[in-house]
Amino acid sequence: MRTANKTVRQSVSLPANVAAQARALAKKRRLSTTRMLVELIESGMEAEKRKQQEFFELAARFRRATDPEEVTRLGDQMGRMVFGN
């Protein structure tokens, strides 16, 4: 038997500019602000998972690499992922 998604009431404080952007996006897409926030959070979590998966794939390629130039290039790429540009 499948269980239904349980909702949890969560109160968050948003910076005024973020709240205004969320309201504008919600209005544009004809959603409630709450629904828009849920979609944005879900998108962010999916993006974070993809980013983490990409990092693990890059780390595996780095470990398998034997060519010194490729090792350097992959190491630089990993550094940019971890520390930014």
pLDDT given for residue 4 in this prediction: 67
- Cα distance between residue 75 and residue 69, in whole Å: 10
Strands (E), the chain: none
Gyration radius (Cα) of the chain, Å:
20
> How many C-beta atoms surround the C-beta of residue 57 within 10 A?
10
Q: Looking at residue 67, what DSSP letter applies?
A: S
The arithmetic mean of pLDDT across residues 21-50, rounded, is: 97
pLDDT given for residue 2 in this prediction: 58
What digits encode the pLDDT tens for the residues 38-50?
999 999 999 999 9
- Cα distance between residue 74 and residue 81, in whole Å: 10
**pLDDT over 90 percentage in the chain:** 84
The arithmetic mean of pLDDT across residues 19-42, rounded, is: 97
pLDDT given for residue 84 in this prediction: 81
The arithmetic mean of pLDDT across residues 16-26, rounded, is: 97
pTM of the model: 0.74
CA dihedral 45, 48, 54, 56 (to 10 degrees): -100
